[in-house]
Amino acid sequence: MVSVIIPSHNRAWSIERAIDSILSQTVKEFEIIVVNDGSSDGTEEILTSRYPVVRQYTINRSGVSKARNVGIQNARGEWIAFLDSDDYWLPNKLEEQMSYLAMNPWFQICHTDEIWIKNGKRINQSKKHQKYSGWFFYPSLQLCLISPSSVIIKKTVFDNVGMFDENFEYVEDYELWLRITAFYPVGYINKKLVVKTGGHEDQLSKRIDGIEGYRIQALEKLLSTVQLSEEYYEEAIEVYRRKCHIYLNGCMKRGKGDEVKKLGKKLGELNTLRNSS
């Protein structure tokens, strides 16, 4: 069985579309878990009155990482799928993925291509967002290549690499994918099975100021806490240095010279730590 986890904060305007897209799947071996992250817009009433099949958990406003983790902890399925409350699936999404995983049992995580809609209009993905199959830790260092709404992960993977880091308000998915792709190959279905929407005012990405700064924090955590192979460590250091250079150039233009010293010191500490281990 697949446990489908939807984290939601004040998404009464889209939660029904998301749930209906799951209920419309061509395979029915799933459970739906909605973690209501402190909504105050009638989300709970919609779930209770219209979707008795949904297992609902309500938490105080804590962020998407905490909400997803609550879903994982309460999931009954062998496989975990995520669906953001403003996205939705095409009807054959689960069938395609479970068939693929049955034919490729060495994969414990699988993602798909997706359709992007921004402000009601379909947009094309740029070349840098190309998705991959297999071992792709190095491309994952550059930017987030796995959409949470497209992924299915075997639950035991979280036992090995941990769940979402609740200290990350932003780039929480990027941080998790780094830990996963360092140890697991990833399956990929080159079919558009998910519709990812954007442009609305309540998107987290609209509140981010300097996303590279948050990615740098994720890389710092990876380098200091995860036992990477020598090859992966060197790749991560290379990307870390490059992102620091880009980010710090921006900080200098904005008069944030202290950031240069702070990040330079951290990079030196990481190199010292690695050389002494």
CA separation, residue 37 to residues 58, 68, 155, 205 (Å): 6, 10, 22, 18
- Tokens in use for 209? 């100021």
- Tokens in use for 212? 């590279």
Of 56, 52, 59, 48, the C-alpha closest to 5 is 56
Pick the CATH number of 2-202 from 3.10.530.10, 3.90.550.10, 3.40.640.10, 3.40.190.10: 3.90.550.10
State the Cα–Cα distance between residues 35 and 32, nearest whole angstrom: 10
Phi first, then psi: give them for residue 156, nearest 5 degrees.
-65, -20
Question: pLDDT digit of tens for each residue in the chain (277 aa)?
Answer: 999 999 999 999 999 999 999 999 999 999 999 999 999 999 999 999 999 999 999 999 999 999 999 999 999 999 999 999 999 999 999 999 999 999 999 999 999 999 999 998 999 888 888 899 999 999 999 999 999 999 999 999 999 999 999 999 999 999 999 999 999 999 999 999 999 998 766 655 555 567 888 999 999 999 999 999 999 999 999 999 888 878 877 776 766 566 667 766 766 666 665 555 5
pLDDT of residue 247: 80
Neighbours of 186 (CB within 10 A): 24
Query: Helix crossing, 15-23 with 43-50: angle to 10°?
Result: 30
Indicate the domain borders of the chain: 2-202, 211-276
Cβ atoms of 86 and 18 closer than 8 Å: yes
State the Cα–Cα distance between residues 190 and 27, nearest whole angstrom: 20
> What's the N-to-C CA distance of the chain in angstroms?
42
State the Cα–Cα distance between residues 106 and 272, nearest whole angstrom: 37
Cβ atoms of 178 and 161 closer than 8 Å: no
pLDDT of residue 257: 60
Of 111, 103, 78, the C-alpha closest to 194 is 111
pLDDT of residue 246: 81
Cβ atoms of 156 and 149 closer than 8 Å: no
State the Cα–Cα distance between residues 69 and 163, nearest whole angstrom: 6
Q: Burial, 200: exposed, middle or buried (Cβ in 10 Å; 0-12, 13-18, 19+)?
A: middle
